[in-house]
């Protein structure tokens, strides 16, 4: 963890949300386009990272999001939170150093993708109907799962994961919009 990351994380307590970066600000927009780097998973139990995760969850809750990436609050690291719409009670899970390890060749056009960093807008985006993923949770445990979902009419956990994963690559949903003649 860098000194700058420590300062940003510890500038407030766990009851204070982070400011979400938005594309309407030039500096914010530039930072959102940065490719994030991995976290040393042995450090994840560090109190600074645990505070970061608590504050990130609070930020996601206050903003009414279904996911949020570290880069969206100024930390360019491979970590995001995502809501498990495929599980009872829709728990929020932490994904550290996530990887998409398999997906079909075909894509679907997911309707009304939106983003906390792109306020007051939404659009239809190209997404895979399922993905096989690996990531570490906040305890440093490795997880592997197949996430599905391609419609807002039910489970779209796979789309949430893809959206947040894209943030770690410096990609916004607006880069994946379906065109009128695309299928």
CATH number of the domain where residue 19 is located: 3.90.45.10
pLDDT at 122: 92
Give the total number of structural domains in the chain.
1
Question: Is 179 part of any domain?
Answer: no
Tell me: pLDDT of 118 over 70: yes
Question: Looking at residues 36-54, what average pLDDT do you find?
Answer: 95
Question: Is 178 part of any domain?
Answer: no
Query: What is the chain's mean pLDDT, rounded?
Result: 93
Domain containing residue 79: 3-173
Question: Looking at residues 39-64, what average pLDDT do you find?
Answer: 95
Active site residue 164: yes
Residues with Cβ < 8 Å from 110, sequence gap 6 or more?
A: 124, 125, 126, 127, 150, 151, 156, 159
Confidence of residue 167 (pLDDT cuts 50, 70, 90): very high
pLDDT at 1: 86
pLDDT at 15: 95
What are the φ and ψ backbone dihedral angles of 146, each rounded to 5 degrees?
A: -110, 120
Question: Is 76 part of any domain?
Answer: yes
pLDDT at 30: 95
Question: Is 183 part of any domain?
Answer: no
Name the nearest CA neighbour of 17 among 66, 56, 70.
56
Instruction: Give the Cα separation of 110 and 164 in Å (integer).
Output: 15
Q: Give the highest mean pLDDT range of 8-12, 145-149, 162-166.
A: 162-166
Tell me: pLDDT of 183 over 50: no
Tell me: pLDDT of 14 over 70: yes
Q: Given 63, 89, 93, 164, which residue is catalytic?
A: 164
């Amino acid at each position: 963890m860098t000194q700058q990351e420590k300062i940003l994380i510890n500038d407030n307590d766990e009851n204070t949300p982070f400011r979400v970066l938005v594309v309407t600000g030039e500096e914010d927009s530039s930072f959102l386009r940065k490719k994030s780097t991995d976290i040393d998973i042995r450090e994840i139990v560090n109190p600074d990272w645990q505070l970061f995760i608590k504050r990130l969850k609070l930020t996601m809750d206050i903003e009414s999001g279904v996911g949020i990436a570290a880069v969206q609050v100024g930390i360019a690291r491979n970590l995001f939170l995502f809501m498990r719409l495929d599980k009872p009670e829709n728990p929020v899970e932490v994904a550290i150093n996530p990887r998409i390890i398999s997906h079909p060749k075909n894509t679907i056009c997911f309707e009304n993708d939106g983003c906390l960093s792109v306020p007051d807008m939404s659009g239809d985006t190209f997404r895979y109907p399922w993905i096989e993923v690996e990531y570490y949770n906040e305890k440093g445990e490795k997880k592997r799962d197949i996430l599905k979902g391609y419609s807002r009419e039910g489970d779209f956990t796979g789309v949430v994961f893809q959206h947040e994963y894209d943030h770690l690559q410096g990609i916004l949903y607006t880069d994946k919009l379906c065109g009128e003649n695309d299928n």
